[in-house]
């Protein structure tokens, strides 16, 4: 399937032989070198869009083991793909051909949680939800939350510079991650760990590993600043009649909720219909063209609740919001979040989904959805949009029964051209991965892509790290 959809040629890499496997077994314990049938799950991505044919999965536990593995692979020119929780949505976490998978799942130790500074040091394979549970014990929270939290790794989050539901409050990982330790393609360990928010000692090399999707090195450890956990969380879920009102309600929320605003999401009617139907969730509101979720996180519940209730009343008085509910009951908040977080999973259950994750100016944020709906007509079952409107990030989805070349040619490169004309980003938060290298030029200048390539050559001259991903092929 992969080869039909994405014609790529296998690079000039070594083919794994018995001596290679024996070498890996000498670096790791034998049971941490997986071969045969058991490698299946590591070869296919979350949305089932890329299927590799790797026969070897390695599970290191220490930085030194990662270093030994890469040193050997580099000397033999064996291609590798780093894999975290394998929840990435751009086909970056699985092999395209027979690359060796380096699974970070056993590198899951939390080294230190400093409750005074809020700085947490851990290995990169800690599952986000587990990290959150651990830091909560010290009254801290991870400055990142996303629907895949039960499986994704903090190292995968760093490698994709994941955004998520609370970016509007805590900013992105370039700010929160204070340092990383990474292993380069030749096995060299780069200690770029730092315990300070303020550390202006020359070039900030850590940024090269945040969002480079395993193409420049394998992140083995990181230090992340975790803010104090909120004492009070409140949620408003509202129904809105049109997109202009979505925008004006967002503006009102920023003005009235100010520093306690921690999430602003938008969901269109069809997207909400998917999660409520497929996951059997009862929405507290009747049907509206748009829905919004506003979350506040603060330190005084009475104060926050009053602010959120006043905001909702004002929004309704101004006829911006047609109906809405405010709650701080955990079961009700969970249901509201589930309606948002389970849309991706629901779409996947309903058929094949072309998924786009784009940044667009808010003035044009939603218009691509009806434009695309008209363009694909009856060929698609559903064209819908939802996302982090507070961060100008739209998740655009085209659902059909199965992969369909006709629809594919109607949506790509159209979506990227459309985005580029509006000076948007062809990848807001999911990354470039395997799906989008050929569209990178829609968001990056030739000079910027050239410099990316020079850095790749410097750091991974044999191009063994995650080949076919992120950078466009040289002849493009
Ligand atoms: P993987 O999928 O395993 O890998 C992703 C990329 O990072 C690959 O290129 C891989 O090679 C590389 N990589 C992984 N670990 C390392 C490492 N230690 N060192 C070097 N490279 C590495 N994303 C968002 O940004 N915001 C969201 O709100 C969001 N919601 C999601 C909801 C659902 C239901 C799902 C399924 C996904 C969602 N995602 C979201 C996408 C995905 O969860 C994120 O991209 C996440 O950060 C990937 O983490 P992972 O550990 O699963 O990485």
The residue with tokens 């784009």 is 358
Q: What is the pLDDT of residue 49?
A: 87
Architecture of domain 1-229: 2-Layer Sandwich (3.30)
Q: What is the ipTM of this complex?
A: 0.99
Tens digit of each residue's pLDDT (9 = 90 or more) over 170-213: 999 999 999 999 999 999 999 999 989 999 999 999 999 999 99
Helix (H, G, I), strand (E, B) or coil at 16: coil
CA of 92 to the centre of ligand 1 (A): 9
Contact 24, 59 (CB under 8 A): no
Q: What is the DSSP letter of 400?
A: E
Helix (H) or strand (E) holding 264: strand 261-268
DSSP 74-88: HHHT--EEEESSS--
CA of 299 to the centre of ligand 1 (A): 31
The residue with tokens 């040629």 is 9
Q: How far is CA 98 from CA 1, 73, 274, 430, in A?
A: 15, 13, 36, 24
**Packing angle of the helix pair 243-257, 301-317 (nearest 10 deg):** 140
- Please tell me the distance from the alpha carbon of residue 418 to that of residue 48, in angstroms, as a whole number: 26
Is a pLDDT exceeding 70 seen at residue 221? yes
Pick the closest to residue 172 from 148, 207, 137, 138 (CA basis): 207
Q: Report, as an integer, the average pLDDT of 444-472.
A: 97
- Please tell me the distance from the alpha carbon of residue 333 to that of residue 337, in angstroms, as a whole number: 6
Neighbours of 295 (CB within 10 A): 27
Q: What is the DSSP letter of 363?
A: G
Is a pLDDT exceeding 60 seen at residue 215? yes
Give 318's contacts (C-beta < 8 A, 6+ positions apart). 248, 252
Is a pLDDT exceeding 90 seen at residue 81? yes
| 301-310: long-range contacts, CB 8 A cutoff, minimum separation 24 | 301/231, 301/232, 301/234, 301/328, 303/232, 304/232, 304/234, 304/260, 305/232, 305/234, 307/256, 307/257, 307/260, 308/234, 308/236, 308/257, 310/256
Beta strand 100-103 pairing with 56-58: parallel
Q: Within 6 Å (CB) of ligand 1, which residues are found?
A: 46, 81-89, 92-93, 104, 124, 146-148, 152-153, 155-157, 159-160, 162-164, 213-214, 218-219, 344-345, 429-430, 433, 466
Tens digit of each residue's pLDDT (9 = 90 or more) over 276-328: 999 999 999 999 999 999 999 999 999 999 999 999 999 999 999 999 999 99
Per-domain boundaries in the chain: 1-229, 232-341, 351-443
Q: Whose CA is closest to atom 32 on ligand 1?
A: 147
CATH class for domain 351-443?
Answer: alpha beta
**Packing angle of the helix pair 330-341, 343-350 (nearest 10 deg):** 50
Tens digit of each residue's pLDDT (9 = 90 or more) over 405-417: 999 999 999 999 9
Tens digit of each residue's pLDDT (9 = 90 or more) over 4-16: 556 799 999 999 9
CA of 266 to the centre of ligand 1 (A): 22
Q: Please determine, looking at this structure, whether the domain spanning 232-341 carries the CATH number 3.30.70.2190.
A: yes
CA of 280 to the centre of ligand 1 (A): 27
Answer whether 1-229 and 232-341 agree in fold: no
For the chain, what's the residue count? 476
């Amino acid at each position: 399937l992969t080869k039909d959809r994405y014609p790529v040629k296998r690079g000039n890499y070594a083919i794994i032989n018995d001596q290679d496997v024996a070498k890996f077994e000498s670096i790791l314990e034998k049971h941490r070198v997986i071969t045969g049938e058991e490698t299946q799950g590591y070869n296919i991505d979350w949305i089932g869009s890329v299927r590799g044919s790797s026969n070897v999965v390695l599970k290191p536990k220490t930085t030194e083991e990662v270093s030994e593995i890469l040193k050997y692979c580099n000397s033999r020119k064996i291609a590798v793909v780093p894999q975290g929780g394998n929840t990435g949505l751009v086909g970056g976490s699985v092999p395209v051909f027979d690359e060796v998978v380096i699974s970070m799942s056993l590198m899951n130790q939390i080294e230190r949680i400093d409750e005074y500074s809020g700085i947490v040091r851990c290995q990169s394979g800690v599952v986000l939800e587990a990290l959150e549970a651990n830091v909560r014990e010290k009254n801290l929270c991870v400055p990142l939350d996303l629907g895949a939290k039960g499986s994704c790794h903090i190292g995968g989050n760093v490698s994709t510079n994941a955004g998520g539901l609370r970016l509007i409050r805590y900013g992105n990982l370039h700010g929160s991650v204070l340092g990383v330790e990474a292993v380069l393609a030749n096995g060299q360990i780069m200690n770029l760990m730092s315990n300070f928010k303020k550390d202006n000692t020359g070039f900030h090399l850590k940024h090269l590993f945040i969002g480079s999707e395993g193409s420049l090195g394998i992140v083995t450890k990181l230090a992340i600043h975790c803010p104090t956990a909120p004492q009070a969380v409140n949620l408003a879920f509202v129904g809105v009649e049109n997109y202009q009102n979505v925008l004006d309600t967002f503006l009102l929320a920023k003005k009235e909720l100010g520093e306690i605003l921690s999430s602003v999401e938008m969901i269109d009617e069809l997207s909400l219909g998917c999660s409520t139907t497929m996951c059997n969730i009862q929405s507290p509101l009747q049907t509206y063209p748009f829905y919004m979720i506003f979350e506040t996180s603060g330190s005084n519940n009475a104060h926050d609740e009053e602010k959120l209730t006043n905001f909702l009343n004002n929004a309704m008085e101004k006829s911006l919001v047609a109906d809405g509910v405010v709650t701080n009951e955990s079961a009700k908040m969970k249901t509201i979040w589930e309606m948002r977080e389970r849309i991706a999973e629901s779409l996947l259950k309903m058929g094949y989904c072309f998924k786009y994750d784009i940044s667009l100016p808010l003035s044009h944020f939603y218009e691509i959805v009806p434009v695309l709906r008209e363009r694909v007509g009856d060929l698609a079952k559903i064209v819908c949009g939802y996302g982090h409107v507070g961060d100008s990030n739209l998740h655009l989805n085209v659902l059909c029964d199965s992969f369909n070349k006709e629809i594919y040619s109607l949506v790509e490169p159209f979506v990227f051209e459309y985005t580029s004309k509006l000076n948007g980003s062809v990848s807001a938060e999911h990354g470039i991965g395997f799906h989008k290298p050929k569209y990178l030029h829609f968001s990056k200048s030739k000079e910027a892509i050239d410099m990316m390539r020079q850095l790749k050559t410097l750091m991974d001259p044999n191009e063994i790290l995650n080949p076919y991903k992120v950078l466009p092929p040289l002849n493009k």
